[in-house]
Amino acid sequence: MSFDVLSFDLVIFDCDGVLVDSEALACVVHADVLTQHGYAITAEQVHDRFLGRSAREARFEVETELGRTLPDAYTAQLKATIDRVFGESLQPVPHIAETLARLPQRICVASSGTPTRIHSSLTTTGLLDRFAPHLFSASQVSNGKPAPDLFLFAAAEMGVPPALCLVIEDSVPGVTAARAAGMAVLGFHGGAHCRPDTAQALKAAGATVTFGDMRQLPGLIGRIARHPAAASVT
C-alpha cells in the first residue's frame, strides 16, 4: 500500500511504550501477579505474548488455558500494583514533550489500556494536557489490536479519513492494526522494553519506517509524506 500524500492531518499515538516508558514495568507486574494466581509466566513471556494487546484479551487467553476464571482479587491486585509501580517509577519516553510541541498536525491517543490507565499514565508523566480529551481506548471497541477497530474508531471520532492518519506504534499487534485500518505507521523502538530485533519485527509487520529517538519524528513525518519509498531510517 502506498501513502503518497502531501501531508497527514492526524498523528495517532499509542500510549504505553510510545508516550510513556511503561512496558518493561508492566510486564514485570503482570508476570508477578499472574504467577501468584496460578499461571506461572515470566516478564519475557508476557512481553512476547501480550505486548500491545488489551488486558481483556490477555486475561481471556490465560483463563482459556487455565480452564477457569481468574478471581476478582486478580484484577484488583493487578491494578493496585501497577498504580503503585507507575506512581513510583513511570517516566515519559525521552524527548516526547519537545517532539509533540513541534508537530503541526492534530494528535490523539489510541491505546490498548483502559481509559483510567491512559488518563493516569499521561497525568503522571505530565502529558495529559497535550492530548485530552482525545483519548481512545480498546475498551471502546469490539476488538482490540491487532484488529483495526481502535484506529478506525479514533479516526472517525477525530473526523479524519484513515488515509490521512499516521500511527506511531511500538508493538507488532499495533503495527498490524494500523495497516489493517489503511493507515501509514511508524515503528518506534526507543522504549526500555525494546530488544535488538524490535526494529526488524516492526518493519516486517508493515511499519513504513522504524526509529529509536523521538526527536527524529517531525522530520520523518515530512519525509514519508512526500517520499514514502526514500524514508528508510532505523
Question: What would the pLDDT profile of 100-142 be if each residue is shown by its tens digit?
Answer: 999 999 999 999 999 999 999 999 999 999 999 999 999 999 9
Is CATH 3.30.43.10 the classification given to domain 10-21+91-230? no
185 Ramachandran zone, left/alpha/beta (phi>0; psi -120 to 50):
beta
Amino acid type, 116: T
pLDDT of residue 225: 67
Query: Can you give the pLDDT at residue 136?
Result: 98
Q: Note the pLDDT tens digit of each residue in 168-195.
A: 999 999 999 999 999 999 999 999 999 9
pLDDT bracket for residue 197 (50, 70, 90): very high
CATH class, range 23-89:
mainly alpha
pTM of the predicted model as reported, rounded to 2 decimal places: 0.86
Hey, what's the cell of 160?
479524519
**Residue 52: what pLDDT?**
76
| CA separation, residue 38 to residues 23, 54, 64, 163, 168 (Å) | 22, 20, 13, 45, 35
Mean pLDDT of 11-28: 95
The string of pLDDT tens digits covering residues 37-92 is 999 999 999 989 998 787 888 999 999 999 999 998 998 999 999 999 999 999 99
Quote the CA–CA distance of 137 and 153 in Å, as a whole number: 9
Q: Of 47, 61, 49, 173, whose CA–CA distance to 110 is shortest?
A: 173
Question: Is-contact 38 77, C-beta < 8 A?
Answer: no
Residue 105, Ramachandran bin (φ over 0: left; ψ between -120 and 50: alpha; else beta): beta
Q: How far apart are the first and last CA of the chain?
A: 20
By residue count, the chain amounts to 234
Domain with CATH 3.40.50.1000 in the chain: 10-21+91-230
Q: DSSP for the chain, please give it.
A: -----S--SEEEEPSBTTTB--HHHHHHHHHHHHHHTT----HHHHHHHHTTS-HHHHHHHHHHHHTSPPPHHHHHHHHHHHHHHHHHH--BPTTHHHHHHH--SEEEEEESS-HHHHHHHHHHTT-HHHHTT-EEEGGGSSS-TTSSHHHHHHHHHHT--GGGEEEEESSHHHHHHHHHTT-EEEEE--STT--TTHHHHHHHHT-SEEES-GGGHHHHHHHHHH-GGG----
The CATH 1.10.150.240 domain(s) of the chain lie at 23-89
| pLDDT beyond 80 at 99 | yes
> Using 50, 70 and 90 to split pLDDT, how confident is the model at 227?
low
Residue-wise pLDDT tens digits, 140-167: 999 999 999 999 999 999 999 999 999 9
Report, as an integer, the average pLDDT of 211-233.
77
Cα separation of 103 and 202, whole Å?
A: 23
What's the pLDDT score for residue 209? Answer: 94
